[in-house]
Amino acid sequence: MSELFSPLAIRSMTLPNRLVLPAMVTRLSGEDGLVNEDIRARYTRFSKGGVGLVVLEAMAVHSAKSGPLLRISSDEFAPGLSDLAKRCHAAGPGMVVPQIIHFLKISRSGWRQTVDMLSLADIDAIVDAYGEAAARARRCGFDGVELHMAHAYTLSSFLSALNPRKDDYGGSLENRLRLPLRVVERVRREIGLDFPLGVRFLGDECIRNGYTTVDAALIAVRLARAGVDYISLSAGGKFEDARVIPGEPLYPYTGYSGDRCMPGNQYPDGANLYIPRAVRAALREAGLETPVIAVGKIGTKALAEDVLASGTGDLVGMARALLADPDLPNKWKDNREDRVVRCIYGNVCKSLDENFRRVDCTLWPKKLGQAPESHDEIPPKWAENGSRIHAEYRHGAVLVRWEKATDNEAVYGYQVFRSKKAGVLVHHASVRGVSARYEDSRVLGGESYTYAVRPYDLAGNRGPMSESITVDVPG
Ligand SMILES: Cc1cc2nc3c(=O)[nH]c(=O)nc-3n(C[C@H](O)[C@H](O)[C@H](O)COP(=O)(O)O)c2cc1C
Ligand code: SF4
């Protein structure tokens, strides 16, 4: 059995496998912050797919105004959250922890509150809010709690190298750590010694003069020594380089650091793995065994296995890959990777989030609202006269087209395979079922490329490979 399916004990919880759904805002809750039917459907679907740890999307510890966002800021939210915990536990083997967040004020005028505007009383109130929310998480029946110290939010802004405070909460690294450590200490006091406490923070701020893995390694050691049970590492997602749109509040994922947070298809697979590699090595060197969650465009079983085998991480986080196919863990476990519906990293989900619209995957059939579920075993097929695949070089790209396949349920998409110089065909991209074309702009003059496509259905059954076609790109 793959190491990915070995259990891992984290304080009082034992994860059944090494696969983690990192927090992913869904915009499915209303501005009331309450758990609703859509939220229940989304998370039970993830649990059912077999993931070892479900981290529920960021939920607010305080009552500040925001767009649609879950809340855990008062007992009013507890019944919905308890029910969600129960349903996720019933749906699958994985553990469930909420990610809890504090954020500062922001307005459409372009103004935003920064950490240097907070009084000492405001800082004390943040500590209290985290403590109360974490205690509530425990009462709600979750298996642990994760503190959000990443991206553009309050605790991350204290950790940031750009923290502008001039007092004991800014300047030196120890000062930048002061509030995050106070929060850890208070939360631990509230939740007790047996309840797992995770922290998510940035391994690299990915902004000019921001901190990198050099500081992140020290932050991790300090947090682990303070009793944090797991460390989840993210990248970027900052206000400092966000796109300015007059009349709109700044959104922290619109600049380069936002790209680095959710690396799109222009980035190599495993784009952020240098982060957990460096941070985990620093923890081990300090004699700390704290598990590390590695994240960032990990979409294949081979890469996930390599994360563990190479000591890059102890757990493999996959946000978009699991959004595209929540059944991925069960499919990998059953050695059915060939049935996984692969994320194409086009980041439609990211832009939905940016625009405060419900976060669905572009691959899902329209209006379904959740990933499709099918146990059908009949694969799609090509028409009698085959796929009629055609490819030509035009305006700097190869355009590949084919006739649509058919399926007893529905063709969900096509995998595009490519080889160079008639070598082995490897998966190159996937396109949605409504399309029967793919434009490949990653071609070099003087090379020849061979293409073939394979249809897949809602259950992920792959149909037969099409005929192949070779194109010579002019030198
Ligand atoms: C739509 C969307 C919402 C996200 N919301 C959160 C969030 O609430 N908290 C968080 O820490 N990260 C959030 N992230 C970042 C992911 O957890 C993850 O770090 C990132 O997508 C990179 O991992 P991936 O390549 O496996 O998708 C979000 C990502 C996406 C795409
Ligand atoms: S919308 Fe695109 S990037 Fe997001 S999960 Fe779906 S395929 Fe992946």
3-state SS string over 52-91?
A: CEEEEEEEECCCCCCCCCEECCCHHHHHHHHHHHHHHHHH
> Is residue 46 within a helix (H) or strand (E), and if so which, with residue range?
helix 37-48
Pick the atom of ligand 1 nearest to 353's CA.
Answer: 1
Per-residue pLDDT, averaged over 229-249, amounts to 93
**Both structure tokens of 409:** 């349920």
Ligand nearest to the CA of 429: 2
Q: What is the mean pLDDT of residues 189-214?
A: 98
- Which tokens in the block code for residue 400? 């590949």
3-state secondary structure of 24: coil
Q: Ligand 2 centre from 300 Cα, in Å?
A: 15
- 164 has a pLDDT exceeding 90: yes
**Is the shortest distance between the CB of 152 and ligand 1 below 6 Å?**
no
Q: Provide Rg for the chain, Cα atoms.
A: 23
Would the CB of 320 count as within 6 Å of ligand 2? yes
Tokens of 20: 């983690």
pLDDT score of 248: 83
Q: Indicate the pLDDT class of residue 156, thresholds 50, 70 and 90.
A: very high
List, in order, residues 6 or more apart from 114 with CB less than 8 Å away: 104, 157, 164
Structure confidence at residue 65 (pLDDT): 82
Measured by CA distance, the residue closest to atom 31 of ligand 1 is 350
Residue 333 has a pLDDT of 97
Q: Is the backbone of residue 356 left (phi > 0), alpha (psi -120 to 50) or beta?
A: left
Please work out whether the CB of residue 318 comes within 6 Å of at least one atom of ligand 2. Answer: no
Looking at residue 183, the DSSP 8-state letter turns out to be: H
Ligand showing the shortest atom-to-Cα distance for residue 234:
1
Inter-residue contact 371 to 456 (CB < 8 Å): no
Q: How far is the CA of 128 from the centre of ligand 2 (A)?
A: 37
Confirm or reject: Cβ of 326 under 6 Å from ligand 2: no
CA nearest ligand 1 atom 12, residue: 23
Q: What is the pLDDT of residue 423?
A: 80
- Residue 241 scores a pLDDT above 80: yes
Is any atom of ligand 2 closer than 6 Å to the C-beta of 145?
A: no
Query: Residue 64: its pLDDT value, please?
Result: 86
Which residue CA neighbors atom 28 of ligand 1 most closely? 24
**Nearest bound ligand to the CA of residue 348:** 2
442-468 exposure pattern, b = at least 16 Cβ within 10 A, e = fewer: ebeeeeebbbbbbbbbbbbbebeebeb
Please work out whether the CB of residue 348 comes within 6 Å of at least one atom of ligand 2: yes
Q: What are 288-307's pLDDT values in tens digits?
A: 999 999 999 999 999 999 99
- CA–centroid distance, 22 to ligand 1, in Å, is 6
Q: Is the CB of 347 under 6 A from ligand 2?
A: yes
Band of residue 253 on the pLDDT scale cut at 50, 70, 90: very high
pLDDT for 299 equals 94
Distance 231 CA to ligand 2 centre (A): 25
Beta strands in 323-447 (DSSP E): 390-394, 397-401, 411-420, 426-432, 437-440
Task: Collapse the DSSP code of 187 into the 3-class scheme (helix H, G, I; strand E, B; otherwise coil) and give the result.
Answer: helix
Task: Specify the 3-state DSSP secondary structure of 345.
Answer: coil
Band (pLDDT 50/70/90 cuts) for residue 366 is: confident
Name the residue of 320, 342, 364 whose CB sits within 8 Å of the most ligand 2 atoms, as the mutation to test its pocket: 320
Name which residue leads in pLDDT, 330 or 434.
330
Give the range among 250-264, 354-368, 394-408, 429-443 with minimum mean pLDDT.
354-368
pLDDT bucket at 78, cuts 50 / 70 / 90:
very high
- Given ligand 1 and candidates 20, 24, 145, which is best to mutate, with the most ligand atoms within 8 Å of its CB? 24
Collapsed DSSP state (helix, strand, coil) of residue 139? helix
Run of H or E residues at 44: helix 37-48
Mean pLDDT in residue range 41-59: 98
Q: To test ligand 1's pocket by mutation, which of 20, 21, 25 has the most ligand atoms within 8 angstroms of CB? A: 25
Please state, in angstroms and rounded to a whole number, the distance separating the CA atoms of residues 328 and 331. 5
Q: Is the dihedral of CA 265, 266, 268, 270 positive or negative?
A: negative
Our answer on whether the CB atom of 140 is closer than 6 Å to any ligand 2 atom is no
How confident is the model at residue 247, as a pLDDT? Answer: 84
pLDDT of residue 416: 96
* Closest residue CA from atom 5 of ligand 1: 24
Share of the chain above pLDDT 70, in %: 100
Alpha carbon 113 to chain centroid, angstroms: 26
Residues 370-418 have pLDDT tens digits of: 999 999 999 999 999 999 999 999 999 999 999 999 999 999 999 999 9
Residue from 66, 147, 262 whose mutation best tests the ligand 1 pocket (most atoms within 8 A of CB) = 262
Rounded to the nearest angstrom, the distance between the alpha carbon of 419 and the centre of ligand 1 is 32
Q: Which of 342, 343, 351 to mutate to test the pocket of ligand 2 (most atoms within 8 A of CB)?
A: 343
Distance 21 CA to ligand 2 centre (A): 14
Average pLDDT of 352-361?
90
At CA 376, angle to CA 375 and CA 382, rounded to 5? 145
Domains of the chain: 3-354 (3.20.20.70), 390-472 (2.60.40.10)
Do 233 and 201 meet the contact criterion of CB atoms below 8 Å apart? yes
Average pLDDT, integer, range 48-65: 96
- Would you say residue 1 has pLDDT above 80? no
pLDDT of residue 180: 98
**What is the number of the ligand closest to the CA of 99?**
1
- The structure's pTM equals 0.94
Of the listed ranges 35-44, 106-115, 171-180, the least confidently predicted one is: 106-115
